[in-house]
A and B are shown apart, each in its own frame.
Chain A
Amino acid sequence: MPQVTLTRRYRFSASHRLHTPLLDEARNFEVYGKCNNPHGHGHNYLLEVAVAGAPDEVTGRLMPLRELDRFVERVILEAVDYKDLNTQVEEFAALTPILVPTTENLAAVVAARLAREWPAAFPASAARLEMLRIHETGRNIFEVRVGPPERSEQLAQTSGEPPVKTCN
Chain B
Amino acid sequence: MLITRKVEFSASHTCWNPALDPAANEAVYGSEANPNGHGHNYRLEVTLEGEPDPVTGMIVDLKEVKQVLEQAIVMPMDHRHLNREVPPFDKVVPTAENLAVEIWRRLQPRFEGTPARLKLVRLFETEDLYVEYEGR
Contact = CB atoms under 8 A, between A and B. Distances in A.
Nearest to A8: B129
B129 A61 contact: no
Interface stretch (B34-42, B64-72, B89-97, B108-116): B89-97
Given A2-B136, A3-B136, A62 B129 contact: no
Contact of A4 (B19, B27, B94, B132): B132
A34 interface: no
A59 B95 contact: yes
A61 B30 contact: no
Interface residues of A, number: 18
A64 B129 contact: no
Contacts, number: 69
Contact of A65 (B20, B129, B130): B129
Q: Chain B, interface size: which category?
A: 20 to 34
Interface string B17-40: 101100000011110000000000
Nearest to A61: B95
Contacts of B97: 2, 4, 6, 55, 60-62
A8 B128 contact: yes
Contacts of A10: 128
Interface in A59-91: 59-62, 64-66
Interface of B: 15, 17, 19-20, 27-30, 92-98, 100-101, 127-136
Closest 10 CB pairs of A and B: A9-B128, A60-B93, A60-B95, A55-B97, A5-B132, A60-B98, A66-B30, A2-B101, A3-B136, A64-B28
